[in-house]
Amino acid sequence: MRNVFLFLLLINVLTARFNAQVDLVKPFEDCKIKGSITIYDFKNEKWIFSDSMDSNRPTLPASTFKIINTLIALETGAVSNAEEVIKWPGSTDTLKYGFRPDIYHDMSMKEAFKLSAGWAYVEVAKKIGKERYKKYLKMSRYGNGDLSVNDDDFWNFGNFAISPVNQIEIVRGVYEESLPFKKSSFKALKDMMIDTKTEEYTIRAKTGWTRDKGKDTGWWVGYVERPNNVYFFATRLIKDRKDLNHNFGKCRKEITLKILRELNIL
């Protein structure tokens, strides 16, 4: 069944490219970065790929894991609600996570999601424990389930991995509320995920960026809600850390938004 699914994806990429008549590769070239964008048109049940092989290749999810991590935290009672305050532990590994003094203070889970405060989710992860993570990840069909790294921050370091296609399956599960979590948890998460809200559309999404094994891996994952359709997207950039590119962070969104506009999604 998995092989049949992958075959259909490869067929769809040709159809999607032909119908869209949009150069999905040029925005990556403009940013001087390698990566891919994967889009799923909900109403028309159509996949669009810039690189179908890359869309099925799993890597660390980085902070995009905060999407399902928030659901798991609420479901297990590690936090009672989005407003619960997570206590600042007093220190963090700045060499590992980067120097961000603006996030070094007590904050709610909602604020931690918005600011992508990794330390806060690590503190929550200690309460959840890897066995409960494995249970919910398996039930949700999220990633490869490899939490073997000796680190509570397994989504940024180690062998845990998810593909862009699987990312879209997860955010679709969030939109449809078909993952194994309470409606109240979905409501809290969806409120946290709002990135942009206009009269025409709402973007719910999460960025991610990890530095592991000599690579920078950057993500922007989410979905665009319009009155008549929903479009799910997963953009991933990867580069060697030795190759400097000061636009790496902002290119995650810039590439995605440019392609979404060219496809008349925005």
pLDDT at 216 over 50: yes
pLDDT at 48 over 80: yes
Q: What percent of the chain has pLDDT over 70?
A: 91
Q: pLDDT band for position 149 (50/70/90)?
A: very high
Catalytic: 63? Answer: yes
Q: What is the pLDDT of residue 125?
A: 96
Per the structure block, which two tokens stand in for 214? 């000599």
Per the structure block, which two tokens stand in for 241? 């850390």
Query: Strands of 46-49's sheet, edge to edge?
Result: 46-49, 34-41, 229-240, 215-226, 202-212, 194-197
For the stretch 104-141, pLDDT in tens is 999 999 999 999 999 999 999 999 999 999 999 999 99
Q: What is the pLDDT of residue 10?
A: 52
d(CA 101, CA 97): 11
pLDDT at 260 over 80: yes
- Other residues' Cβ atoms within 10 Å of the Cβ of residue 55: 24
What domains lie within the chain, and their CATH numbers?
2-262 (3.40.710.10)
For the stretch 157-207, pLDDT in tens is 999 999 999 999 999 999 999 999 999 999 999 999 999 999 999 999 999
Q: What is the pLDDT of residue 101?
A: 86
Q: What is the pLDDT of residue 91?
A: 79
Helices (H), 45-176: 52-55, 66-76, 94-97, 109-115, 118-128, 130-140, 164-176
Q: pLDDT band for position 93 (50/70/90)?
A: confident
Report the SS3 class of residue 85: strand
For the stretch 50-92, pLDDT in tens is 999 999 999 999 999 999 999 999 999 999 999 999 999 887 7
d(CA 142, CA 251): 26
Helices (H), the chain: 2-20, 26-30, 52-55, 66-76, 94-97, 109-115, 118-128, 130-140, 164-176, 183-193, 248-262
Choice among 52, 63, 116, 185 that is catalytic: 63
